[in-house]
Amino acid sequence: MRRRTLLAGLTGAALLPAAPAPAAEAFHPRRVLHVHPGDSVQAAVDTVDGPGRTIVVHPGTYREVVNIPAEKEELTIRGASRDPRAAVIVYDNANGTPKPDGSGTHGTAGSATFTSAAPGLTVHGLTLANDWLRADHPDITGTQAVAAYVTGDRSHFENVRLLAHQDTLFADTTALDAFDRQYYRHCHIEGDVDFVFGRARAVFDGCRFHTLQRDVTFTPKGMVFAPSTARANPYGFLALRSRITSGAEDAAYKIARPWVPSYETTAWPSLVVRDTWIDPGIDAAAPYTNMRDAYPWQTMRFRERANSGPGAEISVPENRPQLTAEEAALHTPRTYLGNWRPYDRRP
């Protein structure tokens, strides 16, 4: 799948290099900043001088890396159009891509097109993409290429498209012992290998997860989720009222595998998928697999409830652990997010 295919139909605007924003003094006193093609989203972020600011991104394709540091609290970044395909932030770094300064490679987190550690972030009506392709770089073995790396507590993404191949959305936390919360509503997330992964307490409400076709002979071709939840955290990833669709052949993908990182071997991955339609691209008979034999998926906190579709058929019950009705009451947006209730408001 070539880069032009990944971004096909997202916007009619030409690819534009990142450019400086207007002078800082033009932005400094304003609570709403506007970014147009030819401007830089990062320059607008740098100009933000207090909480509660909004950056409006006008239709166009912005080829740049955007990094939102922790001090940019309560920031909103939204597309000017109702269509998230109209404004696209995209870049093409990978784990194994050399850094420009010669200090090594980017690493997985460092490959992200969009990074945020800011608490209270809201992103609405945009596309965030990483269009790096394995086929174009056969010499690079670190093929993870992240679209968004998010760690801040109370991070809210709505009507956002997240596009990449391997490791599209890194939903993580600010520290190993932090239970940072994230909420994704009506988002489209696509990729091929472990493309929703990390340690966050994250709710995916009414989202679409789409697996991509891969030109490989082996199966599984990939997994949708790879949570790495801390053992002390009672909640990891929750997907509800969502859809899992596939561009690959039947049974080519798994729902999940557990990720126990070498830097946090006590992790106890947690994933609940409930009230979700699953198409035949998911292996219904064996929807989970191991990442390492030392951490079998059967020992993890993987559960389902009331899913439907051909990929949700329970033909081998021991391979599809189900929540009881009593357990299901503990796996809701309210229990995962506590006193933060983004599902009660619109951004």
The answer to whether residue 7 is domain-embedded is no
The answer to whether residue 60 is domain-embedded is yes
The answer to whether residue 126 is domain-embedded is yes
Answer yes or no: 194 catalytic: yes
The answer to whether residue 172 is domain-embedded is yes
In terms of DSSP H, where are the helices of the chain?
Answer: 3-6, 24-27, 41-47, 107-110, 325-328, 333-337
**Considering only CA atoms, which of 68, 78, 19, 20 is closest in space to residue 48?**
68
Q: What confidence tens digit (pLDDT) does each residue in 8-60 have?
A: 444 433 333 444 444 443 434 469 999 999 999 999 999 999 999 999 999 99
Q: What confidence tens digit (pLDDT) does each residue in 113-160 have?
A: 999 999 999 999 999 999 999 999 999 999 999 999 999 999 999 999
Number of domains in the chain: 1
Identity of residue 282: I
Measured from the Cβ of residue 74, the count of other Cβ atoms closer than 10 Å reads 16
The answer to whether residue 33 is domain-embedded is no
Which structural domain range is residue 292 located in?
50-344
Greatest Cα pair distance in the chain: 64
- 286 CB-contact burial (10 Å; exposed 0-12 / middle 13-18 / buried 19+): middle
The answer to whether residue 44 is domain-embedded is no
The answer to whether residue 219 is domain-embedded is yes
Hey, which residues does 273 pair with through a beta bridge? Answer: 239, 304
Q: What confidence tens digit (pLDDT) does each residue in 158-193 have?
A: 999 999 999 999 999 999 999 999 999 999 999 999
The single residue of 39, 167, 180, 194 carrying the catalytic annotation is 194
C-alpha triplet 262, 265, 271: angle, nearest 5°: 105
The answer to whether residue 125 is domain-embedded is yes
